[in-house]
Each structure stands twice: as structure tokens, then as C-alpha cells.
Amino acid sequence: MKDRYIILQIVDKATGKDITETGEAGNAQLYLFSPEGEYAGQFLASSEQIKNHTPILLPTGKLDKYHVTAWANMGTSQHFLLPSENSQIEEQAVFLIKGENEYQQNPDNLFFGSTNLSAIEESSPEKITLVRKNARMHITVRGLDTNTPEDDYYLTIQIPNNGYNFSGKPSDGVTTFRETGKFEDNGDFSTRETFNLIHTDEENTASISGVTVCLYEKSSGRSTERLLVATTQDRYGQPLSLPSGQTVNLLIDLREGTNITVYTRITPWDEIYQWTIW
């Protein structure tokens, strides 16, 4: 039986740029599933193999129409399930980790790709394109009292998913993250950096409408923290969503008192939108 090979390509989804040779994706773990979705094996592609476009030998056997899923840059900021003989492709593979105060830890900058092997053995290696899997977010609040210590404010982001299955689909499960911030020179309060989240499932209406951003104020004089803002949609009434491989920039404008306005801008992964002052 003729040997079969694959090549991994790493692409920035937002820009379409090939970033394979940067090594940003690190090593990749590949999982093999039968046409019926049953686990059939796994193998590793090293960072050097990926960067150098080295063909990777697949396990021997009849692999027509088998599914191959690939996860890269798998650090320690999430748990990965070790599949067993009876595992299925729809089972959850990626689990978020509980951090302090029962909030979840932000996941790594994961990359994911998949393919169905052709029914006919190809003369050249088949290609799997991996893109950034998670969404990224940056939040700015305008109109807070700058005389209040910045450490007294914090944000929570509740999302409807707590990981991914082996096929890359977000797994159901409400999850909450906590983010601190700082006051900028212009008086805006912003998260200290961008942060990663499980992306929303655009095919699932409940997932798209399941993102909630809250702003809280702490005070030593109160037994409970005060909820200042809770929003699930932007100023046009559209639910907040988290597209994979891109950064969601959120501006919460409090300057009109009870009339809160929420603006959103979607930018490439490493780009933070600079909100103008008006």
C-alpha cells in the first residue's frame, strides 16, 4: 500500500497571510478518525516540520475518507483530552481551566485545521490549513470616575461555550472570565491587554446571543460589589459575538448617564482599535 503524506500550512485568517515559516504555531497534534467519526490514532508534527513544509507520514492502513484534525500551539492554559479507543470526533477535546475565584483561565493562542482524506491516494501530499481558533477581545470603558482607584473596577465576560470538540466546534457550557484594567491618559478605562476567549458558534443562534459583558465596582464600604453595566448587544441591537481569529474591540460609553452606548470594531488578531475622542 502506498504511503500517504500531509503538509500543514498556517494562515492568519483575518489577513490571509501565510505565517507557516514564523513558527508561531509551534508543534501540532493530529488526530485521525474513521469516516464514521471513531478515533483511529494520533501523531505529532514538530515545529520544524511545519516551518519547513516537511511532508508528514500518515499511519499505514486504508485511510480513504478518514478525517484528520490538527491542533497546534497547545500550551498549558487549557486541558486536552487524551482520546481512548472508543472516543468520537464529536466529543469534547479542549476544556478550559478554572482560575482564581472560580473564573476561567484564558486559553492559549490555539491553531486548528482539518481535512477529509481523499478516496484516491494522491501523488502529492494533501494539505491541512490551520488558522487561529480562539477569538480575542479588548474592552474600553469611557466615562468612569477617574478619582476612583482603577483596581476597584473590573470586567466579567460570560460566554456560552467552555471548549471545543475534536472537530473544532465550540462545546456548550456557560463560562465566565474576569479582566482587570487601567486608566489611560485620556481618562478611558481599558483592559490591560487583549485576551483570548472561545469563539462563538455562528451556526448556533444561542451561542451568538450568549455573550454578556459586565462592569463592577468594588468598595470597602459595601458587602457586595456594585454592578455598573451589563450588556449583551451593541448600539444597533446586534448581539455581541466573538469571531475566531480576530479581535473584538468593545467601547462602553457611560457619559450619558443611564443611556449606555456600546460600540464594536473587529480588527486583525494583533491589532487594537484606537477609539477617537468625541
Q: Does the pLDDT at position 226 exceed 90?
A: yes
Rounded to the nearest 10°, the torsion over CA 144, 148, 152, 155 is: 10
Cα–Cα nearest to 238, from 204, 208, 272, 202 = 208
Distances (CA, A) of 197 to 122, 148, 177, 194, 211: 37, 28, 9, 10, 11
Least confident of 100-104, 196-200, 240-244, 249-253: 100-104
Q: Indicate whether 189 pLDDT > 80.
A: yes
Q: Where are the domains of the chain?
A: 4-73+109-132, 134-267
- Full-model pTM: 0.92
Q: CATH classification of 4-73+109-132 is 2.60.40.2100, yes or no?
A: yes
Which pLDDT tens digit goes with each residue over 151-162?
999 999 999 999
What are the pLDDT digits (tens) for 70-80? Answer: 999 999 999 99
Across 256-277, average pLDDT: 90
- How far is CA 204 from each of CA 153, 160, 201, 207, rounded to the nearest angstrom? 32, 10, 5, 5
Which of these CATH numbers, 1.10.730, 1.25.10, 2.60.40, 3.40.1350, describes 134-267?
2.60.40
Alpha helix segments (H runs only) across the chain = 47-51, 205-208
Q: Judging by beta carbons within 10 Å of its beta carbon (0-12, 13-18, 19+), is residue 24 exposed, middle or buried?
A: middle
Query: 4-73+109-132 and 134-267 share one CATH topology?
Result: yes
The whole-number pLDDT of residue 2 equals 77
**Kindly report the CA angle at 116 between 20 and 114, in degrees rounded to 5?**
35
End-to-end CA distance of the chain: 68
Looking at residue 208, its pLDDT comes to 55
- What is the SS3 assignment for 21? helix
Over range 194-216, report the average pLDDT. Answer: 82
Looking at residues 233-238, what average pLDDT do you find?
Answer: 94
pLDDT at 47: 97
Would you call 205 exposed, middle or buried from its count of C-beta atoms within 10 A (0-12, 13-18, 19+)? exposed
Tell whether the model's pLDDT for residue 206 goes beyond 80: no
5-10 and 126-132: which strand pairing?
A: parallel
Task: Report residue 209's pLDDT band, with 50, 70 and 90 as the boundaries.
Answer: low
Single out the residue of 62, 93, 97 nearest to residue 78, CA to CA: 97
Averaged pLDDT, 235-257? 94
Mean pLDDT of the chain: 92
Q: Please, is 54 exposed, middle or buried when counting C-beta atoms within 10 Å of its C-beta (0-12, 13-18, 19+)?
A: middle
Q: What is the pLDDT of residues 101-127, one digit of tens each?
A: 889 999 999 999 999 998 876 667 999
Per-residue model confidence (pLDDT) at position 200: 93
Give residue-wise pLDDT tens across range 123-179: 679 999 999 999 999 999 999 999 999 999 999 999 999 999 999 999 999 999 999
Across the chain, where does the E strand assignment appear?
5-10, 28-33, 39-45, 56-57, 67-72, 78-80, 92-96, 111-116, 126-132, 135-142, 153-165, 170-179, 181-183, 189-191, 195-197, 212-217, 226-231, 246-253, 261-268
Name which of 20-24, 206-210, 253-257 the model is least confident about: 206-210
Residue 119: what pLDDT?
80
According to DSSP H, which parts of 68-209 are helical?
205-208
